[in-house]
Chains A and B, each alone.
Chain A
Amino acid sequence: MDQNQGSSLPVGVTPGGFWVRAVAVIVDGCISGVLGFIPSFALAFVAASMDPQSGVAVAIQSINMLLGFLIGFFYQGWFLKNKGATPGKMIFNLRVVDTETGSNIGYGKTFLRQYIGGFVNMLTLGIGLLMVAFRSDKRGLHDMVAGTRVLRVVR
């Protein structure tokens, strides 16, 4: 874990700072919330009109949860793979890149970063996220797990 990587970035590219990333994550949450709301609401509406104990209602509620996961996963996955950043990050000119090649990450790494990394962050009670604030290369535990960095491209 080399902490010196942040020092030699050229003028146009800096590591994405804690607060900028935090706001970006919040905005992303709102956007995927809006995206997931309509199908989720429709499904919940259908489930509510049935006997909550019935197998069908339970099945619908499970599908609702699965759908929530899928929407969240593909939101991150598609944007990070095809655009290098989710809309919330785009607002601040942030890019999520692979530490070795600097390219966009695919679905596999996104899964590692968001879900495995997210899980580990939870286990460490958020210390993994605070790492973004305190490391010079501004990488969190989830970045380490997935081998990614978040850069800010200032043009």
Chain B
Amino acid sequence: MTDSESNSGDSGAHHTVFQGLRVSLTPAPFIKRFLAYCVDMGVVLAIMYPLIILGAIGFAFVVGVGEALVSGVGGALGIVIAIIGLLLILSLQNVYFIVQEKRTGTTLGKKIFGIRVVSLDGAPLTVGQAILRDLMRYIDCALIFPGLFSVFLSSRRRRLGDLMAGTIVVHSAAREQSRNFMYLSSDEYARLEATLQPKELPLNLGEEVKKFAFKAYVTGGEIDHEIERGLVEELNPYVGESSSLKEVSSESLVRFFAERCLQEQYR
């Protein structure tokens, strides 16, 4: 486990090497963390809401049955069981964060905004770190939001949970992988990009390629091979000088450039 850090200032660009892999340690901006948190809480709410409603119905049922079976005590017992149930449902929120952050260092919200949680030395989180970090969230968000003060006053935008667990929320290079490719798999795309060494297409050609590709490969019935060949002709000048071009089929070429034009919107 080698550890080498290159520092260039407090919240500036950091990186470290953990088990031979380069891990970014650039602290993520607060706005991304906040938005990711909103998304995560939204998802959690969406899951908890129906469960709570079901729970409420169950509550009424259990209390009713309890009262019927052992009048007096039974009802009270039913209430206790129901409250325990409610607490379990509410703790789902914690499970959501802990499980995801332990396994991948990200949650759905974090994935969307391209950030992840890592240990200070670049290592993935341990179970203890994940649990501690998550439970501290209650304190971070208590009343006057001490976590907020912590984020802006600490050296690397760490909230109280980060400080206690020895973690940091960083930019994630893995955000590239979460894009949905429509015309070819991400591996094929990467392979073709390396093979073809494509240049930037002019706007109208890009539009034409996109329109044809969408019609031919995604929605339409017949692939008009005339038009396909015409497009391949027009695309030739935008491919690097390489003999491996001959091994690429017309369809793959058009698919590749269509995907490329789509991906451009992500920049």
Contact = CB atoms under 8 A, between A and B. Distances in A.
A155 B218 contact: no
Given A82-B266, A101-B207, A102-B214, A32 B42 contact: yes
Given A102-B210, A102-B214, A30 B265 contact: no
A149 B34 CA distance: 31
Contacts of A87: 39, 42-43, 108-109, 112
B181 A8 contact: no
How many of chain B's residues touch chain A, expressed as a range?
Answer: 20 to 34
Dominant secondary structure of chain B at its interface with chain A: helix
A101 B210 contact: yes
B42 A155 contact: no
Interface of A: 4-5, 7-10, 12-13, 23, 26-35, 81-85, 87-88, 90-91, 93, 95, 97, 99-104, 149, 151, 153, 155
A12 B213 CA distance: 15
A90 B218 contact: no
A106 to B, nearest CB: 10
Contacts of B192: none
| A-B residue pairs, 8 tightest by C-beta | A31-B42, A102-B214, A153-B180, A30-B42, A101-B210, A30-B46, A27-B46, A30-B45
Contact of B180 (A4, A28, A93, A103): A93
B38 A13 contact: no
